[in-house]
Amino acid sequence: MAFVETMFFLLIQHLVSASSNAVIGHLQSPHHSLIADKAALLEFKKAIVYDPYSKLANWKEATDVCKFTGVSCNFTDVSCNFTGVSCNTQHYRVSDLILKDYALAGTLSPFISNLTGLRNLVLVGNHFYGTIPAEIGLLRRLHRLLLEGNNFHGSIPDSLALPSDLTTVSLLQNNLTGAIPPTLFSNCSMLAVLDLSNNLLSGKIPIEIGNCPKLWSLNLYNNQFTGELPLFLTNSSLVNLDVEYNHLSGELPIKFVQKLPNILYLHLSNNDMVSHDGNTNLDPFFSAITNCTSLEELELAGMGLGGILPTSIGGLGINFTNLLLQENQIFGSIPPNIGNLSKLVVLNLTSNRLNGTISANISQLSNLEQLFLSHNLFTGAIPAALGQMTHLGLLDLSDNSFSGDIPSSIGNLVSLNYLFLNNNLLSGSIPPTLGHCIQLYKLDLSYNRLTGSIPPQLLGLSEIRIFINLSHNQLEGPIPIELSKLEDVQEMDLSSNNLSGSIFPQISSCIALTLINFSHNSLEGKLPDSIGELKNLESLDISGNRFSGKIPLSLNNSRTLTYLNLSFNNFEGMIPSGGIFEAVSYKSFLGNQHLCGTVSFRPACPHKMHLFRSHIFLILFSLVIFISTSLSILCSVIAIWHIQALISAQRTATARKPTQPELVHSFPRVTYRDLSDATNGFDDQRLIGTGSYGRVYRGVLPNGTTIAVKVLQLQSGNSTKSFTRECQVLRRIRHRNLIRIITACSLPDFKAIVLPYMANGSLESCLYQHSKTGLRSGSSDLSLIQRVNICSDIAEGMAYLHHHSPVKVIHCDLKPSNVLLNNDMTALVSDFGIARLLIAGGGNSALENMGNSTANMLFGSIGYIAPEYGYGSNASTKGDVYSFGVLVLEMVTRKRPTDDMFVGELNLHRWVKNHCHGRVEKVVDFSLMRASRDQSAEVRKMWDVAIGELIELGILCTQESPSTRPTMLDAADDLDRLKRYLCGDTTATFAPSLGISSSTLDDD
């Protein structure tokens, strides 16, 4: 009833405003016929607020829309002056308004309804916003309505049912919401194409869609539709149905396909459908679909479908070209009769549980262009018969358990562009015949057991444009000079092999290189100066080799180089200055004993005069060394006696002073000598971290236990008190996400805390280091799921400190460098050197009196300090919450809060908040965005939700006012739900305890 009333109102309004002009136009000359249309077009132009190319500049009051000449009974010429406008020569009216890809921005004026002769309205690829005006329904002669690629929001107007001649409606790629109005199909006898994809539409697909007998193409993909496919759709003439990336449920639609024998394209991927018999049987559906003899494409990816791949798959139609079944739970082997699909072009079975060997019958797919079998459980040899599939352009067999040699017959695939055999158990040598694949763009043979040398024929493939990855094998011999022919290759990874020889100067011919990773080989000689001529180089890693000589000065001329690792070689001399050398840390030069320079922790280079004097005194030094050694032995005996006396005295004093930190008696005793032996005399090569407190060394105890020894810098006035405080905190807490103390060593001139060694280092090193395994630079190895898990671990540990610990603890210095990651990437909060203890009393909590040690100490590190601390506020749990929020935003953006871009009023919080309601991808870490693009659309949706939740949590925790921040319990609870959501728990909801909303985020 409401629909009828709305339409009646619109009709009355339209008749009042436009009928007189329309009548005059049809009865008088062509000039007068276009008066109403011209007025409507000028009103349309007024609503345009942005016309970057001035496409509508010729739409003027003084200009005629169209001119008609040569009018006769049988012939009329027409010329139109308004861009994008065409006129009908029979009725002298505007018939077409086609403004495609003009980048116009504005609202769609309702005056467009006065173009009563309009047949085609095409506004594709612009920036129109607002709602779709209901007045469009008054365009009774409209045949095609194409509004795709804009920013329209709101619901689909009911009035679109009025034009009875509509054949095509495309509202693709907007921001439309709500359900599809059933009334849309009340007058659809001519409708042939309906495309509502890439919106935010929800609800069920209305059964009234069955009223459209001529409908042959229906695209509803990438929305939020629920329920089952309505069987009434089979009343139409469908040959194309695409409902991918929704939440449609039920069993795979057998009855549906049985009633549509002429369907050509059936795309059901990434929904919630299941196979028959409780998601265990695929045969009923595939048997039914074999009756669709015209079928060309079937896509059932990303649904978790279970069952074996049935033999009925071989009965699909003779025109069948595309089969997508990736990301399911299909097990068993590939049926040999799949070779019957002689016209198959794409076969994707990635990420299933398929096993067994690959039958040679697969070579019968003579027209196959793309074969994806990665991330399964295949074993045995790669069949040599694959070399017969001469049309193959992509072959992906990665992440299986294939063994044996790489078949030389793969070299017959002259059309091959992408070859991925990585992460298998392949052995033997690389066949030189791969060099016949002259169109190869990507080659990945990494993480296998390949031996022998790199065949020169392989590196003669000048067409390799993107990357070549031979890392993590057992290749040996020199790097062939033919490598210099790869002028277009962007990334080259030969790391973790047994390669020898040197790098030749001709490497500068690879002008497109952005990444070189030759680390962990046995390469030697000098690093050629020509490597600095690579103008696009972003990452260079040659660590773990035997290079010698001086570091090439040419490297400091590179404007693109952002990552450099020369560690564990034999370089000597001064470290160059300028360019990349101003940005790198000492970690880039570890293990090069003969380097010197201005980089921290490297010795300063001696002056020439100093060198001369050192030669003079060398003989004198040799003469006195014997005497010095003797005296050292005597002093050591005396020192040991004094140290034992001091330790005894200290224990006595400790027993008399209960206010000093008392180490648990079960902690193992360790001496200075033990720690010195464990760390090889506190050797710089064992250094794993530094800070204002001192240094941390990796050590190994006699029983084989690997430890981290935190040595306090006693020159700092607060070091002793920091040591006392950290011992006091660590002995009172126990949680899986908090670092535990093994023991401590305290002498008057030496204090150290012994902690478990964390193999994965700190969160900061993982977040900002170059990828260890791959072909990307300037990125982090941490995946989104790992980042969410780490944030959750930190929140759990902090929640324990604030709410569950026997003595409440305020950390006061939470930041990535104080979060450690163990072997399984579990995060542990560490470094309690400036922590505060809260003592409960009388219903209130007060800071424990720890003397004046922290009276003038800043609560935290720059960038992570809560703003209220700057006004003299006492340390509080809400200050820790602020630091946690900064850390969360840092995890998402991979931007330090101290980044140079944050100047004046702009900080990390404001920068992220300015984008959180718009183009959030501008602030998200590029490595996360890149990884997202490699996922299925369903996974991308989940990642978008997760990133949005992390951003909102970070913004909420970093609000200006402490009272508006959540507690760590709230944050931990929210992150736990987010973890469950990413693990597939559809019942997980977000932020009810935090109250996150747009209004909340806008308060501060």
Domain residue ranges of the chain, discontinuous segments joined by +? 2-170, 452-460+472-605, 608-657, 662-757, 778-1001
The sheet with strand 750-756 has its strands ordered as 687-691, 694-700, 706-712, 750-756, 743-747
Question: What is the Cα–Cα distance from 458 to 438, expressed in whole angstroms?
Answer: 9
Within 10 A of 203 (CB to CB), how many other CB atoms are there? 14
User: Which residues 6+ apart lie within 8 Å of 904 measured at CB?
Assistant: none
Quote the pLDDT of residue 679: 86
Identify the CATH number of the domain defined by range 2-170: 3.80.10.10
* Residue 523: C-alpha distances to residues 312, 414, 476, 574 (Å): 55, 33, 10, 21
User: Which residues 6+ apart lie within 8 Å of 726 measured at CB?
Assistant: 753, 831, 832, 833, 835
Mean pLDDT of 381-402: 93
* H/E stretch holding 706: strand 706-712
- Contact of 269 with 324, CB cutoff 8 Å: yes
Q: Which amino acid is at 808?
A: K
Between residues 935 and 395, which one has the greater pLDDT? 395
User: Cβ-count burial of 5 within 10 angstroms (0-12 exposed, 13-18 middle, 19+ buried)?
Assistant: exposed
**Least confident segment among 129-138, 480-489, 587-596:** 480-489
Question: What is the Cα–Cα distance from 276 to 255, expressed in whole angstroms?
Answer: 13
- Find how far residue 481's CA is from the centre of its chain: 36
Between residues 14 and 761, which one has the greater pLDDT? 761
Q: Which amino acid is at 70?
A: G
Question: What is the Cα–Cα distance from 114 to 36, expressed in whole angstroms?
Answer: 7
CATH superfamily of 452-460+472-605: Ribonuclease Inhibitor (3.80.10.10)
3-state secondary structure (DSSP) of residue 913: helix
Residue 850, pLDDT above cutoff 50: no
Retrieve residue 95's tokens.
Answer: 């018939």
- Contact of 818 with 745, CB cutoff 8 Å: no
Mean pLDDT of 885-897: 92
- Find how far residue 84's CA is from the centre of its chain: 41
Between residues 921 and 443, which one has the greater pLDDT? 443
Quote the pLDDT of residue 990: 53
* Residue 52: C-alpha distances to residues 103, 112, 127, 150 (Å): 7, 22, 11, 16
Question: What is the Cα–Cα distance from 221 to 268, expressed in whole angstroms?
Answer: 9
- Contact of 348 with 298, CB cutoff 8 Å: no
Plot region of 208 (φ>0 → left; ψ -120 to 50 → alpha; else → beta) = alpha
Question: What is the Cα–Cα distance from 58 to 44, expressed in whole angstroms?
Answer: 14
Question: What is the Cα–Cα distance from 322 to 866, expressed in whole angstroms?
Answer: 56
Residue 225, pLDDT above cutoff 90: yes
* Residue 992: C-alpha distances to residues 948, 962, 973 (Å): 15, 19, 10
Retrieve residue 210's tokens.
Answer: 């069955």
* Residue 912: C-alpha distances to residues 890, 901, 909, 927, 950 (Å): 10, 13, 6, 17, 11
The sheet with strand 844-847 has its strands ordered as 808-810, 836-841, 844-847
Question: What is the Cα–Cα distance from 766 to 857, expressed in whole angstroms?
Answer: 29
Could you give phi then psi for residue 110, rounded to 5 degrees? -65, -15
Confidence of residue 623 (pLDDT cuts 50, 70, 90): low
Retrieve residue 174's tokens.
Answer: 């907007």
Dmax (CA) for the chain in angstroms is 126
**Least confident segment among 119-128, 225-234, 748-757:** 748-757
Nearest to 712 by CA among 699, 701, 724: 724
Question: What is the Cα–Cα distance from 612 to 619, expressed in whole angstroms?
Answer: 13
E-strand ranges in 730-863 read 743-747, 750-756, 808-810, 819-821, 827-829, 836-841, 844-847
* H/E stretch holding 796: helix 784-799
- Contact of 752 with 679, CB cutoff 8 Å: no
* H/E stretch holding 97: strand 93-98
Nearest to 83 by CA among 68, 98, 94: 98
User: What 8-state DSSP symbol labels residue 459?
Assistant: G
Question: What is the Cα–Cα distance from 444 to 382, expressed in whole angstroms?
Answer: 15
Retrieve residue 708's tokens.
Answer: 């981290």
Residue 774, pLDDT above cutoff 80: no
Mean pLDDT of 173-194: 93
Quote the pLDDT of residue 718: 55
Quote the pLDDT of residue 17: 44
Q: How far does the chain reach from its first CA to its final CA, in angstroms?
A: 46
Retrieve residue 846's tokens.
Answer: 């007060």
Angle, vertex CA 244, rays to CA 238 and CA 248, nearest 5: 90
* Residue 571: C-alpha distances to residues 135, 185, 529, 581, 592 (Å): 76, 76, 14, 15, 6
3-state secondary structure (DSSP) of residue 979: helix
Between residues 638 and 838, which one has the greater pLDDT? 838
Same fold? 2-170, 452-460+472-605: yes
Nearest to 449 by CA among 430, 468, 463, 477: 430
Confidence of residue 76 (pLDDT cuts 50, 70, 90): low
Q: Which residues pair with 500 in a beta bridge?
A: 478
Q: For domain 778-1001, is the CATH number 3.40.30.10?
A: no
Q: Are strands 418-420 and 394-396 parallel, antiparallel or unpaired?
A: parallel
* H/E stretch holding 498: strand 498-500
Nearest to 776 by CA among 995, 491, 574, 548: 491
Q: Which amino acid is at 472?
A: H
Confidence of residue 398 (pLDDT cuts 50, 70, 90): very high
3-state secondary structure (DSSP) of residue 799: helix
Percentage of residues in the chain having pLDDT higher than 90: 41
Confidence of residue 462 (pLDDT cuts 50, 70, 90): low
pTM for the predicted model, two decimal places = 0.62
Quote the pLDDT of residue 844: 40
Within 10 A of 910 (CB to CB), how many other CB atoms are there? 13
Quote the pLDDT of residue 622: 56
Residue 459, pLDDT above cutoff 80: no
SS (H, E, C) 724-787: HHHHHHHCCCCCCCECCCCEEEEECCEEEEEEECCCCCEHHHHHHCCCCCCCCCCCCCCCHHHH
Q: Which residues pair with 420 in a beta bridge?
A: 396, 444
Where is mean pLDDT largest: 431-435, 917-921, 954-958? Answer: 954-958
Quote the pLDDT of residue 857: 46
Residue 607, pLDDT above cutoff 70: no
Question: What is the Cα–Cα distance from 948 to 538, expressed in whole angstroms?
Answer: 30
User: What 8-state DSSP symbol labels residue 801?
Assistant: I
Residue 987, pLDDT above cutoff 90: no
Catalytic residues: 813
- Find how far residue 679's CA is from the centre of its chain: 38
Residue 984, pLDDT above cutoff 50: yes
Residue 345, pLDDT above cutoff 90: yes
Where is mean pLDDT largest: 201-210, 533-542, 972-981? Answer: 201-210
E-strand ranges in 132-252 read 144-146, 151-154, 168-170, 175-178, 193-195, 200-204, 217-219, 224-226, 240-242
Nearest to 558 by CA among 593, 595, 583, 575: 583
CATH superfamily of 662-757: Phosphorylase Kinase; domain 1 (3.30.200.20)
Query: How many residues does this entry show for the chain?
Result: 1004
- Contact of 94 with 112, CB cutoff 8 Å: no
Within 10 A of 793 (CB to CB), how many other CB atoms are there? 24
Mean pLDDT of the chain: 81
- Contact of 717 with 693, CB cutoff 8 Å: no
Question: What is the Cα–Cα distance from 471 to 801, expressed in whole angstroms?
Answer: 44
Residue 601, pLDDT above cutoff 70: no
Between residues 868 and 285, which one has the greater pLDDT? 285
Residue 710 in marked binding region: yes
User: What 8-state DSSP symbol labels residue 405?
Assistant: P
Quote the pLDDT of residue 837: 72
User: Which residues 6+ apart lie within 8 Å of 593 measured at CB?
Assistant: none
**Least confident segment among 252-256, 320-324, 559-563, 681-685:** 681-685
